[in-house]
Structure 1
């Protein structure tokens, strides 16, 4: 991958993390949706990506992928589990949220399948794909 494509890949990953962070803040601070326990875990993994990817994009630090990819994959796994808790009845019984808002609450349900954890899963997946693309190109 030439230098400009690598820079764009890093920049796009940062843009995705910024949109995800601002989206989660919009839902909680403006719309008033109280985050559940699993939502907080997803935020714990997404918010630092915004800062780290922003710095990496500014300095065009390609080696950041080895730090970003594991964080993104773990966050995506939490999002996938949360989405399954919301959409598959059997998953909610495995470990229900015990404090605050239940994790199976769907504040949004656009087109019958797009929920907040689905949006987070999409963001984590895109960031992971961008990091894998950078990794594959660096190996060439």
Structure 2
């Protein structure tokens, strides 16, 4: 049975793509239009999210749910960085471990928010949603 004929596996895959695309376009808007310079950890999160949008977009276009394995790997990598960044922003990780304090923008400054929400937490939420949706897509496409 092909991936295209498996009912219920495409919508979660497409939703994961939509989240990855929205997150990618959002950070480009924040950086390029609003002029907010990303910190080091934000760059690492972008390094996971940008290819995720491309891979999931192609997978959704072709209804290839088996690609979810690669998407999960990228999303977990981004989730780990976003989780660390969220802990850093929340002040749970001590100041001496912060990777962004020497040069460039701070990883935990007050300007790391958009519409009152911390960017690291938004990123963590996006990666979490993508992982859940891709796991659902895999489960629904299992023979």
- TM-score, length-scaled by structure 1: 0.89
> In the alignment, is the contact (CA less than 8 A) between 2:82 and 2:120 conserved in 1?
yes
Task: Give the aligned length.
Answer: 138
**Moved runs in structure 1, 4+ residues, more than 6 A?**
none
Please provide the CA RMSD for this pair: 1.9
Structure with the higher fraction of residues in helix conformation: 1
For residue 109 of structure 2, what is the aligned residue in structure 1? 105
Matches within 5 A, 1:56-135: 56-97=59-100, 98-107=102-111, 108=113, 110=115, 114-135=117-138
List per-residue Cα deviations over 1:32-89 (Å, max 9, x = no partner).
1100000000000000011111100000001101111011011011011101111125
Aligned-residue offset at 1:110: 4.9
Using CA pairs below 8 Å that are at least 6 residues apart, which structure has the higher relative contact order?
Answer: 2
> Residue 109 and residue 57 in structure 1: after superposition, are their counterparts in 2 closer, same or farther (change >3 A)?
closer
1:106 aligned counterpart, secondary structure: coil
Structure-2 separation of matches of 1:53 and 1:94: 34
Structure 2: state its 5+ residue gaps: none
Q: Judging changes above 3 Å, is the alpha-carbon distance between structure 1 residues 5 and 106 closer, same or farther for their aligned structure 2 residues? A: farther
Q: Contact 1:9–1:130 at 8 Å: present in 2 too?
A: yes
CA contact (8 A) 1:86 1:92 kept: no
Structure 1 regions of 5+ residues with no counterpart? none
Cα offset, 1:109, TM superposition? 6.2
Query: What are the superposed Cα offsets for residues 88-136 of structure 1, whole Å, 9 maximum, x if unpaired?
Result: 254332233132111112322655xx21111111110111001111222
**What CA distance in whole angstroms lies between the structure 2 residues aligned with 1:80 and 1:90?**
11
**Please, which moves more after superposition, 54-63 or 83-92?**
83-92
